[in-house]
Amino acid sequence: MEIIEQDKRKCPTHLSTGECKTRLLPVKDALDILSGKWKLQIILSLTFGKKRFKQIQREIPGLTPKMLSKELKDLEMNELASRHVYDTSPVTVEYELTTYGKTLKPLIGELHKWGSKHRKRIIGRK
């Protein structure tokens, strides 16, 4: 999921390498951040404020600690969420969206708009 890895993606031959990089890769970057089984729900959960690890897990049924841990690390690596450890007992760990992470909101909003129309169109057609 690292951005460097993604540079290995091949480009269509009808696009010059440079064109492909600038046209395709950024879109894939954005998609990678949002797609996957849990990412969206975790981000959505964090838009309602700081959350502790177990708290997120409880809010999202079926989410295992392994997956949550992995997704939160992804979010951290991409500077979209931050992790704060408090020296209590038992230890308290809080996650929250960074200011930067909140810039995802309008993007998700656009996906939502398109997706809603699509949903109506496809469901309405049967």
Element (H, E) at 73: helix 65-77
Position among 8, 27, 49, 90 found at the interface with a second copy (CB under 8 A): 27
Which partner from the list a second copy, DNA, none does 89 bind, CB cut-off 5 to 8 Å by kind? DNA
Angstrom CA distances, 39 to 32, 67, 70, 122, stand at 10, 10, 10, 25
Residue 92 pairs in a beta bridge with 86
Which partner from the list DNA, a second copy, none does 13 bind, CB cut-off 5 to 8 Å by kind? a second copy
State yes or no: residue 3 binds a second copy (CB under 8 A).
yes
Question: How many residues can be counted in the chain?
Answer: 126
State yes or no: residue 94 binds a second copy (CB under 8 A).
no
Position among 93, 96, 102, 108 found at the interface with DNA (CB under 7 A): 93
Alpha-carbon 75 to chain mean position: 7
Rounded (5°) CA angle 112-19-16? 140
SS3 (DSSP) at 82? strand
Going by the DSSP 8-state scheme, the letter that residue 24 receives in this structure is: T
State yes or no: residue 92 binds a second copy (CB under 8 A).
no
Position among 5, 18, 49, 62 found at the interface with a second copy (CB under 8 A): 62
State yes or no: residue 13 binds DNA (CB under 7 A).
no
State yes or no: residue 42 binds DNA (CB under 7 A).
no
Residues that bind DNA (CB under 7 A): 36-38, 52-55, 62-67, 69, 72, 83, 89-94
